[in-house]
Structures are given as C-alpha cells and as structure tokens.
Structure 1
Amino acid sequence: MNFLKRLLLAAIRIGIGVLALAATYSAWSGQTPTRLLYFTTESNIGIGVVFIWAGLAALLKGVEPPAWLKGALTLYILITGIVGTFILPVPNLATEPVIFGVLARTFVVHRVVPLLALADFVLFDVHRRYKWHYAFSWLSWPLFFLLLILAHAHFMPAQGISGLPDDRNPWPYGFMNLAKLGVAQFSVNMVLLLVAFVVVGGILLAVDRLLPAKPLLLATKA
C-alpha cells in the first residue's frame, strides 16, 4: 500500500512540476531567455524543479527537498498568484500561447500552478517543520531579484524582457518601473511588496503549525 501511495504522490508532484516547466519552456530553453527576468518565470521554474525532485524522492525513497526550500518556493508561487490575480493587467487569453494545446500560459503560471502548489502544501506536506525566522530568510530571493532588475535596467535600459520584437521596456512589471514611477513611489511599492512577502510567509508558517504534522493525504512514512 505504501508503494501505491508513493507512486500516486510522485505522479501528482511530478505532474505539477512538468506543468510549471512546460509553461516556462520558452524562457529556460533559450527561445526567449529574457523572460527569465520575470519573477513569475523564476517562481514557476523553481516549483518545476523542486516538485519533480520531491516526486522522485517520494517514489525512490530518496532525499526530499529541504523544508526551507520547498516552503520558499511555495511562498514565491503564492505571491506570483496573488500579484497575477489582483495587481497585473488582465491578459488577453485568446492571444496567449497555450500549454499542451489547452491552457493559456498566463493562466497556468498565475492561477493553476499557484493553486496546485498550495493544495500540495496543505494536503501532502509533512508539517511543523518550518522555523519562525523563515518568514524573513525567505526574503533572500526577492531581494536578489530586485537587485537583478535594477542592474538590468541600469546597464541595458533599452533591452525589453518580454521577448516581443518591439519591446524596449527593461522593467518586468509596472509597479517596478523606476523610470516611470520615480524613486519615492518605487520605494513605497518595493517596501509594500517585501511586507507582503513577510505577511504571506507568516500566514504560511501559521498554517504549517496549525495543520497536523502528518500529511492529510498520501502519508508514506510512519
């Protein structure tokens, strides 16, 4: 029975990972490498790698991703989902590239993968492994991302990142466009964004503590 549980858990997690990597294929394959400068792309690639790792570990009884790392990617993809749903402009799904010939890419990276990652965290993760300071140490990648974008805009101010031929905008998101917003508004936006990371991270820590230590579904270990 344990093998069947491991097989099903592996299939679910590898499936989520493959979906996330398929949705970001154009970036990591080198077709449009500038798209790697989107936090959306980075968080989805991270989910893809970590979930395939976790799936193979469940199947083969191997070393699983560290709790800090999986928690970090869960936080990042949740922020991606929140920002994509409530802040970014609504995309025209009719003109979006599709994944597996069915789902619009933007819908997958901003809605489907975040929801699947959240469901995996609630249902399949071993809980009560997170430390309180994770809410702050998880800021390491967002801060690095911010520095990366500032450096890109400074050194390549006319290099767009969407991959479109006429794109000359070096900023991935409107709320990060320093040239347009000015230093004051940009600073306010970045502080609010970092606060959002800490708040959502704190909620993730609280939920992790409230849930039973043993996974709700498909527990494969005593």
Structure 2
Amino acid sequence: MTVVFRALTAVCAVGGIVALLIWNDGDPSSFVYFTVQSAVIIAAVSAVAVFRPVPAWIRGAATLYSCITGIVYHTLLANPSSPFYQKDDGAHTVHNLLLHSAVPILAAVTWLLVERERVRWWYAAAWLGYPLAYLVFAMIRGAFVHEYTYPFIDVNKLGALGVTETSLGFTVAFFLLGLVLIGLGVALRRLLTRRATPETTPAVPDTAGV
C-alpha cells in the first residue's frame, strides 16, 4: 500500500508539471513558482522512496511544501473573497487540478495514514528553510525583473512593510502547519498501533488452594 501511494503521488506530480508545460507551450519560467518547485520535490522524494528508504524528515518536508501549495492556492489565490484572489482561466485545467489538489491530498494522506514513523517536533522549524530560501529568491528575482511570482510578496503593490508583514504571517502559519502534520502523524500512529495490538486479558490468580 505504501509503495502504491508513493508511486501515485510521484506520477501525479510529474503529470501535473508535464500538463502545465504543454498548456503554456513549454515556458521555462514555470519553474520559478513555488507550486512547480514543490511538485518537483515531492515527485523526486516519492519516486526515490518507492525503491529505497527515505528519512522521515525529508519526506515530511516534501509533504509540508506540497500541502502549502494546495492550501495557499485554495484559500488565497483561488478564493474570490481573498484579497490576493487571482482569476485564472486555467483554474480547471488538468495541471491545476493535479498540482493544487490531487498531489497535496495524496502527499498528506501518505504522510498521515500510510507512513507512520517517529519524527521530532523541531522538524517543523527546520522545514521552514526552503520556504524562506524561496522568499529570498523571489524577492531578488522580482527586484531585477520588476515582477513577483505571487501577489502577497509583490513589493510594487504592498510595499516593503506589507510584504514583511505577510511574510511573517506565512512563516508562522507554515510552522504551525508543520506542527499539525507532525502531531496528527503521531496521534494516528499511536491510534493505529493500539488497534493493531491485541489486548491481553490479565491473568486471574489461582485461589483454589486458599
């Protein structure tokens, strides 16, 4: 079952990237987006994990980044009530459905229900390394090309203070999301382990000779 979920996650991630490149005529700038980069990460980690063990902290990081992609897209970018809503003509295309919905769900299910390994709570802080590195990359790139990959880090519209505030908010939210993934994983592992372990009936003392 574990192998199936890992393979399916990798296939959907790669399929989403391929579908995106077909849709935009192979535009290489697609790879500057967190969505595509996180899909590459989860695809690589899941594919390798099919054939050999991958440390839990690496799989957890890839899962977090994929979940970030899905949550940010559905709550902010594709939500009409969000201040960062972006009307997208390709919202219902294959690549959008795969990258923003199918892959994050598969990654989360695999982490929570299929792969049950012990992880440390401080991993949630360590996992922030890539999102923070991406923020630095996006800001430097934006300063040169005068265009930012996402509206919530757009200095031209929000200003430096606005971007700082949203970035701090996202950092805290991503850290909490990491803790949630770890906590739910621990809780489910304990629950399923408890169910799989048959209860032993305490021995009744022999009182026949009393």
Under a length normalisation based on structure 1, what TM-score does the superposition of the two structures give? 0.75
- Alignment match, 2:100: 110
Q: Please report how far the alpha carbon of residue 156 of structure 1 lies from its aligned counterpart in structure 2 after TM superposition.
A: 2.4
CA 209–84 in structure 1, closer or farther in 2 if over 3 Å, else same: same
Within 5 Å, which residues of 2 pair with 1:192-207? 192-207=169-184
CA 189–52 in structure 1, closer or farther in 2 if over 3 Å, else same: same
Contact 2:128 2:175 in 1 (8 A): yes
Q: Deviations over 1:102-128 (max 9, x none)?
A: xx211211111111111111221022x
Indicate the percent of aligned positions where both proteins have the same amino acid. 28
Aligned residues: 184
Contact 1:126 1:214 in 2 (8 A): no
**Higher gyration radius (CA):** 2
Distance, in Å, in 2 between the alignment partners of 1:12 and 1:135 is 23
| Alignment match of 1:51 (pick from 46, 50, 53) | 46
Q: Please report how far the alpha carbon of residue 214 of structure 1 lies from its aligned counterpart in structure 2 after TM superposition.
A: 9.6
Q: Deviations over 1:67-119 (max 9, x none)?
A: 11100011111111111111003577874685xxxxx2112111111111111
Q: Gaps (5+ residues) in structure 2?
A: 80-85, 194-210
Under a length normalisation based on structure 2, what TM-score does the superposition of the two structures give? 0.79
Q: Which AA in structure 2 matches 1:192?
A: G
Contact 1:47 1:77 in 2 (8 A): yes
| Alignment match of 1:40 (pick from 24, 35, 42) | 35
Distance, in Å, in 2 between the alignment partners of 1:86 and 1:42 is 20
Distance, in Å, in 2 between the alignment partners of 1:180 and 1:201 is 29
Give the RMSD, CA atoms, in angstroms.
2.5
CA 178–105 in structure 1, closer or farther in 2 if over 3 Å, else same: same
Within 5 Å, which residues of 2 pair with 1:134-173? 134-157=123-146, 170-173=147-150
Within 5 Å, which residues of 2 pair with 1:62-77? 64-77=53-66
Structure with the larger helix share: 2
- Alignment match, 2:154: 177
- Alignment match, 1:85: 74
Q: Please report how far the alpha carbon of residue 12 of structure 1 lies from its aligned counterpart in structure 2 after TM superposition.
A: 3.0
